[in-house]
Amino acid sequence: MCTAATYQTKDFYFGRTLDYEFSYGDQIAITPRNYPFSFRHAGEMNTHYAIIGMAHVAGNYPLYYDAINEKGVGMAGLNFVGNAAYADVTSDRDNIAQFEFIPWILSQCATLSEVRTLLERMALVATPFNEQFPLAQLHWIISDKTGSITVESMADGLHIYENPVGVLTNNPPFPQQMFQLNNFMHLSPKQPVNTFSDDLALTAYSRGMGALGLPGDLSSASRFVRVAFTKMNAFSGDSEKESVSQFFHILGSVDQQRGCCEVADGKYEITLYTSCCNVTKGIYYYTTYENHQISAVDMHRENLDGGALICYPVIQGEQINYQN
């Protein structure tokens, strides 16, 4: 399905994998400050913060999978199939269609604190984008350099959870994912110590035995634990290249290899793309399954005061550096 994570060095980084068996056709889309948003139940918004992210652009509208704004807030929607449930439109709330959620937040909020305030009066409603697009069942991670929250709209209402680990995958609901980490609290990047028995000469016969018990499969619960362990213990230099490189290694720990997750006969879910946003600087880095090289689009190299979407294609196919 998908995995999102944050990472802090000198700058703040936010990104995700998008795992699926096919792509809807994506672009790196920059929404400049004067692109007019027309919310279905919440009116018009003609000026706002600029946004960059990965989107399926339909009818000139950026259906973002994940994005950041120029102020330092990142947000991603991840599959939450079987658990997501959206509200009906009511008069006493900001009624935001599920597909508008990322624009709604990123266009207005400069900090996670402002996000929390905005969410207090918001309802996520089931208004679809159009008839061709089924309503995606999603939940979201929203982050800035001070922390992360998770938003889950379920049958029993809208839940907003503090997300101290700064990662998100898919099912089960976030509180259960966090709770499961307790079962792995003994994992460590250091070698294990023999507490089995003082009377047996047990030894670490390999490096890396401190995390024995870490799950290695591709289910959402296992990816949550694995990426949490990797991210919480990750260590890198704080230069831009070192930070970005390390971020892709963190999400690489939950890469879905073609063949390992068969969703129908001969159809395989893979990590279609992996993104890493420098939230501080407004740069969108990404790789795709078929292109290990990191590509980048920098929002600040564009005129952010425009009114039209600026789109860059996703570079596909291995870009190999032939040395001879």
Q: Among residue numbers 35 through 74, which ones bind its own copies (CB under 8 A)?
A: none
Q: Which of 2, 261, 276, 277 is catalytic?
A: 2
Residue (38 or 81) nearer to its own copies, CB? 81
Question: How would DSSP label each residue in 232-257?
Answer: HH-----SHHHHHHHHHHHHHTT---
- Contact 84/154 with Cβ under 8 angstroms? yes
Region near its own copies per CB under 8 A, out of 55-63, 65-73, 88-96, 211-219: 211-219
Q: Shortest gap between Cβ of 68 and its own copies (angstroms)?
A: 16
Q: Which residues pair with 13 in a beta bridge?
A: 7, 278
Q: Shortest gap between Cβ of 59 and its own copies (angstroms)?
A: 24
Distance, in Å, from the CA atom of 160 to the CA atom of 152, rounded to the nearest integer, reads 7
Distance, in Å, from the CA atom of 48 to the CA atom of 104, rounded to the nearest integer, reads 10
Total residues belonging to the chain: 324
Residue (36 or 213) nearer to its own copies, CB? 213
Q: Cβ of 128: how many Cβ atoms within 10 Å?
A: 15
Pick out residues in 215-274 that bind its own copies (CB under 8 A): 215-223, 225-226, 228-230, 232-236, 241-242, 244-246, 248-250, 252-253, 255-263, 268-269
Q: Shortest gap between Cβ of 7 and its own copies (angstroms)?
A: 11
Q: Shortest gap between Cβ of 3 and its own copies (angstroms)?
A: 11
Q: Shortest gap between Cβ of 95 and its own copies (angstroms)?
A: 26
Contact flag: residue 156 with its own copies (CB under 8 A) = no
Applying CB under 8 A, which of residues 24, 90, 179, 303 lies at the interface with its own copies?
A: 179
- Contact 110/72 with Cβ under 8 angstroms? yes
Pick out residues in 10-29 that bind its own copies (CB under 8 A): 28
Q: Is 109 a catalytic residue?
A: no
Question: How would DSSP label each residue in 118-180?
Answer: HHHTEEEE---S-TTSPPP-EEEEEEETTEEEEEEEETTEEEEEE-TT-EE-SSS-HHHHHHH
Contact flag: residue 8 with its own copies (CB under 8 A) = no
- Contact 123/159 with Cβ under 8 angstroms? no
Contact flag: residue 200 with its own copies (CB under 8 A) = yes
Residue (92 or 264) nearer to its own copies, CB? 264
Pick out residues in 304-323 that bind its own copies (CB under 8 A): 312, 315, 317-323
Count residues binding its own copies (CB under 8 A): 106
Residue (85 or 89) nearer to its own copies, CB? 85
Pick out residues in 76-135 that bind its own copies (CB under 8 A): 82
Q: Shortest gap between Cβ of 198 and its own copies (angstroms)?
A: 9
Applying CB under 8 A, which of residues 23, 34, 111, 291 lies at the interface with its own copies?
A: 291
Residue 304, amino acid: L
> Can you give the C-alpha Rg of the chain in angstroms?
20
Residue (119 or 276) nearer to its own copies, CB? 276
CA dihedral 186, 187, 193, 194 (to 10 degrees): 70
Of the candidates 260, 237, 262, 261, the one whose C-alpha atom is nearest the C-alpha of residue 249 is 237
Residue 82, amino acid: G
Contact flag: residue 155 with its own copies (CB under 8 A) = no
Which of the 8 DSSP states describes residue 301?
Answer: G
Active site positions, annotated: 2
